[in-house]
Amino acid sequence: MSILRTYILDYIDLIMFIEGVVAIIFSFFKKDQKLSVLEAHSLWNLLSSKYHIINNVQLWHTYAHDKDLKKLMKEFLEDLDEHTEQLEKELERYSIEAPPRAKHHAHGDVNSQMLCDEIIGKDYFTFLQRMVELVLFSIQYSYFNDDLYKFFQDFAKHAIEQTDRILKYLKTKGWIDIPPNYLNVPEDVDEKLGSIEAFHLWTHTHYRYVNIEETLRWKEHVHDAEFKKILERGLKKLNEQVEVLEKELEHFGLPVPKGPPNVVKTNDKATHKDEYIFKSLFIGLQWAGTLHAKAFQQCITNDRIRELFKDYLYEELDMLQQISKYGKLKGWLPTPPKYIE
């Protein structure tokens, strides 16, 4: 009996020792977490925005009459609870003081006439549009912490899908203003195209033409073999997208911008460092994210074209993450100020 007791006590001591070691390691790891000042603010700002909207959504859910809208509000509340919990954990993980928490229930007298279903739907859509912009800004400049990039990326995709869903609902109900159409669509085309959608199709094609020529010139100066392969993969992706966009321009009777040269040979003897070319590429990718996001947000008339720009936006976010990891590996990305040294 005494032998068994000794064995149990030794086992308990061993477990306590292991738990202590794990706690020390975890404590050290937690202190060593890398976090930029922008990433810290982005976490705080996202949580603050979620807190601020909770009371509104509770009111929307209470006063919504349409069953589909009521279902959307219920799901939105569930998402808010899940997201605030995730954000609270991240703030605690990085020792960031959280903003004041919202009340659990909305109170006060509300004029139900001022909260008709149409207004609720439009307000919900406006909030989601703002949330997309907020999260995408966080992503574009949050390359310091890879885990947080993925965290923000998941939030962005969720907000984008929610935005797409509520927009389709509002269009079905006739509760959203439809922008002017492009008037030169061929008669045999059974699709409408908003004038802003025509602008984005043309502009994105032109933008990629410029990117293709620029990338071809960069290839002439790059020395690093791995970086050259990255540029070649980028060129392949650009050409694939251009092929799709050119077909859309033709389909809707839009003019095609002047294309890039097939081959670029330069006699420029100037030395272009790989690091400089990489930074130019990275800044271009950051700007491209904004361009794609704006196209997605402004494409209201044609769901198919909006879906196209949404896919391009997702591709851009994935590419930005891959490029940032490579840039950090090479030491070519500047180190932003840390939240905690």
- With a pLDDT cut of 90, the percent of the chain lying above it is 73
Please state which of the ranges 210-224, 269-283, 294-308 shows the lowest mean pLDDT.
269-283
pLDDT at 1 over 60: no
Residues 169-195 pLDDT 10s: 999 999 999 999 999 999 999 999 999
Give dist(CA 325, CA 287) in Å, integer: 18
The one-letter code for the residue type at 150 is K
Please state which of the ranges 3-17, 78-92, 237-251, 280-294 shows the lowest mean pLDDT.
3-17
Please report the pLDDT score of residue 34 as a whole number: 84
Nearest to 54 by CA among 99, 106, 97: 106
Nearest to 265 by CA among 219, 207, 211: 219
- Alpha-carbon dihedral sign for residues 45, 49, 52, 55: negative
pLDDT at 105 over 60: no
Please report the pLDDT score of residue 254 as a whole number: 97
Q: Over range 289-304, report the average pLDDT.
A: 96
Compare 76 and 107 and report the one with higher pLDDT.
76
| 8-state DSSP, 113 | G
